[in-house]
Amino acid sequence: MNVLSLNNNAVAKFSGDEFIIYCSEFREFEEIDNLLTYINKTLKEILILENKKVYITTSIGISIYPTDAKEIEKLIVNADSAMYRVKEKGKNGHLYFNDEMVKLLQERANIESAIRDSVDKNLFKMVYQPQVSLYTGKITGLEALIRMKNYRYTPDVFIPIAEETGSIIPIGRWVIKTVIEQISEWLKEGVEVKPIAINFSPKQLMDKSLHQYLNNILDQYDIPAKYVEIEITENILIDNIEETLCFLNKIKNLGIKMALDDFGAGFSSIKYLSTLPIDKVKLDKSMINKFTSEDKDEVIRSIVQLSHCFELSFLAEGVEDEFTMLKLKACGCDTIQGYYFSKPLEVEEIKNIMNVTFDI
Ligand code: C2E
Ligand code: CA
Ligand code: CA
């Protein structure tokens, strides 16, 4: 920091692991390039802390006065968003702020505002996608998926932002309440209800009394826990493994089944299959596409067998055609979810489809 502070530069710690370098009297881009080279070279040196090697990576965002902004606050915001783009692209690099980032910033602000509006005015709804048994062709469960009523943003776009801003906490509770309320209504109407899977974001671990909330809502509507399933992903184990497992076991002890979602999309360690309190594995669409198209059925067959060894049922996600469905069936897969059988459906459509037998 001392060296960087020379030559009309000022360096300051901004927050946690963020620093600002302010370069006044910048004349040509080469000066910035030199500075970047210097920072990278200096931080590349490996530190030894408590006998351990420590590697430092840097993500640098650059904004320039007056082209990118005239006010200091805006310059910092712009440099910050350039830095976040570097982080998104895998860290360790630098980017100059540009017009595309202005658009991204605007879009991000729009999504945040849509989330706030939807939370405040209760403008979400749930749709339900059938999961079909490859033994009977019958629906054995449904996955509940959230939608915004008044905005075009899909959950893969707004859920990650709701996770960052913390809105996932009220949204997560709303989803639980809405699904259980729905089960109660269907039961009253005499619909043969199947277990409904609710997606659970790792950020909901911050909602310390969530299992109590879940239990209270089940009690309030007098719904047996067997009608609810929770879908988790392996990144739930990123921090505090012990605490997380304790939390998951509390939910499990309510009698709720648990599924490991997106298996094959991340590290997919076999360890997860044995340590997490799960009953089902959901193989990610990307794996199915890869192995069925490359004719490597053996890979799928092995993963299915492995899951069965751990006494887990096996569901394949995102199945869009008969060819893939038949391959998965031949590999021993138990259940399928995908557009081939049905897209996610509105509440009113569920009643008519619940007892259908699909061709398998
Ligand atoms: P996910 O949990 O992996 O959900 C499966 C996604 O795949 C859904 O997208 C579903 O509509 C889509 N899908 C199903 N079958 C097919 C198919 O055959 N082909 C293709 N291309 N796609 C198919 P959706 O509803 O847009 O949700 C995206 C993601 O958003 C979900 O991925 C989940 O991670 C998240 N999400 C959705 N609803 C909720 C929710 O209520 N809470 C939380 N925390 N996350 C949610
Ligand atoms: Ca899911
Ligand atoms: Ca999934």
Mean pLDDT of the chain: 93
Model pLDDT for residues 203-223, shown as the tens digit of each residue: 999 999 999 999 999 999 999
pLDDT above 90 as % of the chain? 73
The pick from 199, 232, 315 for probing ligand 1's pocket by mutation, whose C-beta has the most ligand atoms within 8 angstroms, reads 199
Residue 199 Cβ contacting ligand 1 at under 6 Å: yes
Least distant ligand from the CA of 203: 1
Q: What is the pLDDT confidence band of residue 6, given thresholds at 50, 70 and 90?
A: low
Residue 262 Cβ contacting ligand 1 at under 6 Å: yes
Q: If you measure from the C-alpha of residue 148 to the centroid of ligand 3, how many angstroms do you get, rounded to a whole number?
A: 19
Distances (CA, A) of 191 to 139, 171, 176: 13, 26, 20
Q: What is the pLDDT confidence band of residue 3, given thresholds at 50, 70 and 90?
A: low
Q: What is the pLDDT confidence band of residue 41, given thresholds at 50, 70 and 90?
A: confident
Nearest-CA residue for atom 13 of ligand 1: 318
Model pLDDT for residues 109-147, shown as the tens digit of each residue: 999 999 999 999 999 999 999 999 999 999 999 999 999
Distances (CA, A) of 338 to 4, 166, 183, 228, 281: 55, 30, 22, 20, 15
Burial-class residue 251 by CB neighbours within 10 Å (0-12, 13-18, 19+). Answer: buried
Residue 267: per-residue pLDDT: 84
Least confident segment among 29-43, 223-237, 319-333: 29-43
Q: Are the C-beta atoms of residues 229 and 256 closer than 8 Å to each other?
A: yes
The pick from 118, 128, 145, 179 for probing ligand 1's pocket by mutation, whose C-beta has the most ligand atoms within 8 angstroms, reads 145
Residue 198: per-residue pLDDT: 98
Mean pLDDT within 151-173 = 97
Residue 171 burial (CB count, 10 A):
22
Which ligand 1 atom lies nearest to the CA of residue 127?
A: 25
Asked if pLDDT for residue 26 goes beyond 80, the answer is no
Least confident segment among 22-26, 142-146, 213-217, 318-322: 22-26
Distances (CA, A) of 171 to 126, 168, 228, 252, 345: 11, 5, 17, 21, 20
Asked if pLDDT for residue 27 goes beyond 80, the answer is no
Rg over alpha carbons for the chain, rounded to the nearest Å, is 25
Least confident segment among 52-66, 189-203, 224-238: 52-66
Mean pLDDT within 24-50 = 84
Dig out the tokens for 345 from the structure.
């459906």
Mean pLDDT within 103-108 = 91
Q: If you measure from the C-alpha of residue 68 to the centroid of ligand 2, how many angstroms do you get, rounded to a whole number?
A: 40
Where residue 131 falls (left for φ over 0; alpha for ψ -120 to 50; beta otherwise) is beta
Residue 154 Cβ contacting ligand 1 at under 6 Å: yes
Q: If you measure from the C-alpha of residue 97 to the centroid of ligand 3, how many angstroms do you get, rounded to a whole number?
A: 34
Mean pLDDT within 71-100 = 90
Nearest-CA residue for atom 24 of ligand 1: 155
Which ligand 1 atom lies nearest to the CA of residue 162?
A: 44
Least distant ligand from the CA of 129: 1
Residue 175 Cβ contacting ligand 1 at under 6 Å: yes
Q: Are the C-beta atoms of residues 312 and 287 closer than 8 Å to each other?
A: no
Residue 285: per-residue pLDDT: 95
Mean pLDDT within 305-332 = 96
Least distant ligand from the CA of 318: 1
The pick from 127, 148, 153, 159 for probing ligand 1's pocket by mutation, whose C-beta has the most ligand atoms within 8 angstroms, reads 159
Q: If you measure from the C-alpha of residue 145 to the centroid of ligand 1, how many angstroms do you get, rounded to a whole number?
A: 6
Q: If you measure from the C-alpha of residue 144 to the centroid of ligand 2, how many angstroms do you get, rounded to a whole number?
A: 8
Model pLDDT for residues 258-315, shown as the tens digit of each residue: 999 999 998 888 888 999 999 999 999 999 988 888 888 899 999 999 999 999 999 9
Mean pLDDT within 19-27 = 85
Nearest-CA residue for atom 6 of ligand 1: 318
Q: If you measure from the C-alpha of residue 9 to the centroid of ligand 3, how many angstroms do you get, rounded to a whole number?
A: 48
Asked if pLDDT for residue 253 goes beyond 70, the answer is yes
Residue 23: per-residue pLDDT: 87
